Amino acid sequence: MEEKETQQSEPEIAAPVDDSPVFTCQMCGQCCRGAGGIVVSPKDLVRITRALHLTDEEFIARYGEWRGGKLQIRTGEDNACIFFREGSGCMVHEGKPDVCRAWPFFRGNIVDEDSFLMAREYCPGIDKNCDHATFAREGRAYLEKHDLLAHDRDREGRAVNLDETR
């Protein structure tokens, strides 16, 4: 099967979350840097292989790695996600995994105020005047609305599994 061109002409870094009153993505790319954590669940694998026109095996061989029993997207030599391009952003925007769609509404930020405060410093898209209770409420609503909640701790990202206790 032929690989779809991943060098899209006008890629985006992340989808702006325009229906959250507490978050508007500034497309800085910060959340695409750093190793690990970009879990590709079975549902994500269907989406991303369709977007790239690859078989599961081809995707895993080219872009994936297994960590803790879960499929994840590899990082490159720059320690950023292998699909991230400085100045251009996400090269697989349409097919990106749910964890990428869900940030900054990760479980840790929703259940823990200190994590939220760090995320608010780190991610310029989070409203600096937003308090934790409001963020948690809006985050849960956002994850539910966009069907981003995970329930399978063995194959989906913990970051989007609100069922888990801390």
Does residue 124 interact with ligand SF4 by CB under 6 A? yes
Identify the residue whose tokens are 């989808």. 15
Question: Is residue 92 at the binding interface for ligand SF4, with CB under 6 A as the rule?
Answer: yes
Taking each helix axis as running N to C, give the angle between helix 56-63 and helix 42-52, from 0 to 180 degrees, rounded to the nearest 10: 90
d(CA 69, CA 144): 26
Measured from the CB atom, is 20 or 132 closer to ligand SF4?
20
Give me the long-range contacts of 61-64 (CB less than 8 A, separation at least 24).
Answer: 64/40
Nearest approach, Cβ of residue 97 and ligand SF4 (Å): 6
Site string for ligand SF4, 16-35 (x = CB under 6 A): ---------xxxxxxxx---
Asked if 38 touches ligand SF4 (CB under 6 A), the answer is yes
Query: Which position among 51, 60, 111, 123 is part of the footprint of ligand SF4 (CB under 6 A)?
Result: 123
DSSP assigned state of 70: E
3-state secondary structure 113-164: HHHHHHHHHHCCCECCCCCHHHHHHHHHHHHHHCCCCCCCCCCCCHHHCCCC
* Interaction of residue 14 with ligand SF4, rule CB under 6 A: yes
Shortest distance, CB of residue 113 to ligand SF4, whole angstroms? 19
Residues that bind ligand SF4 (CB under 6 A): 13-14, 25-32, 38, 73, 81, 83-84, 90, 92, 96, 100, 103-104, 123-125
